[in-house]
Amino acid sequence: MSEDSLIAPFLADFISGPVMMVVSTRDSRFRATIGRGSGAVYDAPTGLIDFFVSRAQWPEVCEFAVPGAMIATTYVRPTDYLCYQIKGTIADVAPATDTELARAKLYVERIMAVMETINVKPEQLTHSLCVGDLVRIGFHPSEVFTQTPGPGAGARIAPVVEAG
Amino acid sequence: MSLALCDLRNAFEGIIPAVIATVDDNGMPNISYLSHVYYVDDSHVAISNQFFSKTTANVRRNGAATVGVVDPCSGLQYLLELQFERAHDAGEVFDRISTHLDIMSSLRGLTGIMKLKTADIYRVLTLRAVHAGLAAAAPAPPPCNRLDRAARVIAAIAAEEDSDTILDAALDGLYDVLQFRHVMVLLPDEDSTVLNTVGSRGYSRYGVGSEVTIGDGLIGMAAATKLPVRIADMGSAHRYVEAVDQGGTLTQIPLPGLSHPHCQVAVPMLARGQLCGAIFIESETPFAYTHEDENALCVIANQLASSLLAAELQAQNLTAVEGAPVPKPAETGTAFRFKYYAFDDSVFIDDDYLIKGVPGRLLYHFVSAYAETGRRDFSNREIRREAALKLPDFKDNLETRLILLRRRLDEKGGPIRLVRPERGLIRVEIDACPSIEVVAS
């Protein structure tokens, strides 16, 4: 399977929508880091997923997010737990541009609205959705797994082509 | 001030799902959501292993995991570095997690899907707060002294001798002293398949005689597993009591539950290792009850169980003084129909369901004796010896059956009442002439 076909249109839309997202890199001890994402977008021409993280809040994730390092990201739709994990190799890391920062702020507004529909209050999430010192981590996706709770969680999947 | 694991217990509730990350042999991270992290002791947590197989595989190889949790009250986040120690597929921690998962999956309509494989025990190597994105929320007000208050309730229960007053001491203490504003006490029936509500506080009706099948829902699971169950924030879509409240049959009395509960706790009442009942509290406020509340409730529940058991044993040896027969008073009310179904001992008064089982059998015995002879007084000792009542030879729990019957009659508001002129004696008061109909099995 080529990398280009790995992220089907539905999955590209899914990860750029109002879904909760987390990210992990690893440190020199082979211990995983954890951070929360503040938006993601798939760029079909380059085949890269741009994943946005607050360096201020998640310094370990960003410290070990270097070109060539491996990365795992997970996206879940809070309303029905539809969940995918996308793994890959980091291509480049850079401070977010103003446009990217604005996009991240829009993402935060949208996911807050979704969470309120399932009775999660804004104050429960204000520390989880941070855009301070925002960093863009661009990575080449290499594997996609379904992680919706159930016996099929963790299964490697073919390109996702239809809505769940 | 350094963080302690017990400070994070609210963050382990899974209201905002926790996250676990591991690394495989090639250095590739894996990151998953998980429903709950369970506090084990000051240096250990347990994580439910249901279906995150890659996480399990990575941990079994190198033992390392990192977990992120969110305190749902403050929104603050914490990171824990964990070292895997062992996996349990049985035992207290496994049972506690399994029960909690069964209830949560039932509430989410996912019964059977979140089946626990193992409870994985991890040592906590490091614990730290994540930099807050905004100014941290104001700290929670200090909790009231639960131990002190629980001790007062226990002392009040222990001071009583009679099952009725023991029960009232418990209910009043839970309501007034611990300020649990919605509370029920339920006791098992003769087959230990159903719990019957024998008293409540804080509801629009007492709901005496309402039933919960052991094994069903929050209360039934706590009884079946003999473990406490606490749901900190149920969400408006998951209302156990409301579900129980629906679909009643002719012989079902609805539980007196809240229509919009957010926080519920059910704890078993245990004495000598045996299930003697359950206490249930609930609130419309998320996180209304803490782990300290749960612990206080457990201690009180066990005291209540022991006191009721002691009262039962003592009552078996009581000999009421046989006084002169009490004359049958003039009946002032309108005649009523008393219908008794022998197959399940259910009793209906003027076609309204009243009660069934042993309490129904007892009531039929009292009312038929009254109708035939005008007799009103019955001693516990003779009740136990009456072959027609088919009470078990021992552990008949007659006292609690009588409490259930008496309180159910009181809630019904006539025309029959039971009173206790003295310990070991029951007096039947009937306002009108009963027209008894028996439906054979």
Lowest mean pLDDT among B43-47, B272-276, B419-423: B419-423
Interchain proximity A22–B75, CB inside 8 Å: no
Which of B31, B51, B137 is opposite residue A150, by nearest beta carbon?
Answer: B51
Shortest Cα–Cα distance, A98 to chain B (Å) = 19
Confidence of residue B246 (pLDDT cuts 50, 70, 90): very low
Which pLDDT tens digit goes with each residue over B403-434?
899 999 998 887 899 998 887 788 988 888 88
Task: Answer yes or no: is pLDDT of B61 > 70.
Answer: yes
**A34 with B114: Cβ contact below 8 A:** no
Q: Which of B27, B68, B134 sits opposite A70 (nearest CB)?
A: B27
Identify the pLDDT of residue A3.
45
Give me the pLDDT at residue A2, please. 47
ipTM of model: 0.92
Report CB contact under 8 Å: A33, B66: yes
Is pLDDT at A129 greater than 90 in this prediction? no
Mean pLDDT is lowest, of A147-156, B97-106, B350-359, for A147-156
Element (H, E) at B438: strand B434-439
B2 near A CB under 8 A? no
Residue contact B64–A30, C-beta within 8 A: yes
Residue range B298-308, pLDDT digits in tens:
999 999 999 99
Interchain contact, A118 vs B31, CB within 8 Å: no
The predicted structure's pLDDT at residue B290: 85
What region does B314 belong to: left with phi over 0, alpha with psi -120 to 50, or beta?
A: alpha
Q: In sequence order, what are the residues at sequence separation of 6 or more whose Cβ sits closer than 8 angstroms to the Cβ of residue B360?
A: B340, B344, B345, B346, B347, B354
Q: Is A38 an 8 Å CB contact of chain B?
A: no
Q: What pLDDT is stored for residue B198 in this prediction?
A: 93
Spatial distance between the Cα atoms of B240 and B244, rounded to a whole number of angstroms: 6
Residues of chain A contacting B72 with CB distance shorter than 8 Å: 124
Whether residue B154 has pLDDT greater than 80: yes
Q: Read off the tokens for B41.
A: 């002791």
Q: Which residue has the higher pLDDT, B174 or B107?
A: B174
Maximum average pLDDT range among B191-195, B244-248, B299-303: B299-303
- Number of residue pairs across A and B with CB atoms under 8 Å? 135
Interface probe with B: pick from A126, A130, A146, most Cβ of B within 10 Å: A126
CB within 8 Å: A22 and B66: no
Q: Which residue of B has its CA nearest to A144?
A: B30
Most confident of A78-92, B319-333, B410-424: A78-92
Q: What is the pLDDT of residue B174?
A: 96
Interface of A with B in 13-32 (CB under 8 A): 22-26, 29-32
Q: How far is residue A34's CA from residue A74's CA, in Å, rounded to a whole number? A: 11
Please check the confidence at residue B112 and state whether its pLDDT lies above 80: no
The reply to whether the predicted model has a pTM over 0.90 is no
Question: Tens digits of per-residue pLDDT, B78-104?
Answer: 999 999 999 999 998 898 888 877 777
**Position with higher pLDDT, B137 vs A113:** A113
Query: Is the Cβ pair B29, A87 closer than 8 Å?
Result: yes
pLDDT band (50, 70, 90) for residue B232? confident
Average pLDDT score, chain B: 83
The reported pLDDT for the residue numbered A73 is 97
Among residues of chain B, what percentage have pLDDT more than 90? Answer: 36
Question: pLDDT band for position B244 (50/70/90)?
Answer: very low
| Range of weakest confidence among A81-85, B82-86, B169-173 | A81-85
B33·A83 Cβ contact <8 A: yes
What is the per-residue pLDDT for B108?
62
Residues in chain B within 8 Å Cβ distance of A29: 64
Q: Is B65 on the interface with A (CB under 8 A)?
A: yes
Contact call for residues B248 and B222 (beta carbons, < 8 A): no
* Angle of CA points B426, B429, B430, to nearest 5°: 140
For residue B389, the one-letter residue type is: L
